Amino acid sequence: MVGKLDESLLQDVGPFRRLDRGQIREILDLATARRFDEGAAVFREGHPAERFHLLMDGVIRVMRLTAEGDAVTALHIPSGQLFGIARALRRETYPATAVCARECLTLSWPMSLWDGFVDRYDGFAEEGYRTVGTRVGEMNARLIEMATQQVEQRVAGALLRLIDQSGRKGQEGIEIAFPVTRQDISEMTGTTLHSVSRLLSAWEKAGILASRRRHVTVTDPRRLELIGEGR
State pLDDT tens for residues 50-98: 999 999 999 999 988 777 777 778 888 888 888 998 988 889 999 899 9
Cα–Cα distances (Å) from 167 to 34, 160, 161, 163, 197, in that order, read 25, 9, 9, 4, 21
Give me the percent of the chain exceeding a pLDDT of 90: 43
- Can you give the pLDDT at residue 138? 76
Pair 115, 52: CB distance under 8 Å:
no
Domains of the chain, with CATH numbers? 7-146 (2.60.120.10), 150-228 (1.10.10.10)
Mean pLDDT value across the chain: 87
Please state, in angstroms and rounded to a whole number, the distance separating the CA atoms of residues 45 and 94. 5
- Can you give the pLDDT at residue 4? 66
pLDDT at 140 over 80: no
Element (H, E) at 43: strand 41-43
Identify residue 176 by its one-letter amino acid code: I
Give burial (CB, 10 Å; 0-12/13-18/19+) of 99: buried
Q: Which residues, including other chains, have CB under 8 Å from residue 70's CB and lie 6 or more apart? A: none
Which of 54, 77, 52 lies closest to 135, judged by CA? 77
- Can you give the pLDDT at residue 3? 45
Pair 181, 191: CB distance under 8 Å:
no
- Can you give the pLDDT at residue 2? 47
Please state, in angstroms and rounded to a whole number, the distance separating the CA atoms of residues 77 and 57. 10
pLDDT at 227 over 90: yes
pLDDT tens for 148-165 read 789 999 999 989 988 888
Please tell me the pTM assigned to this model: 0.79
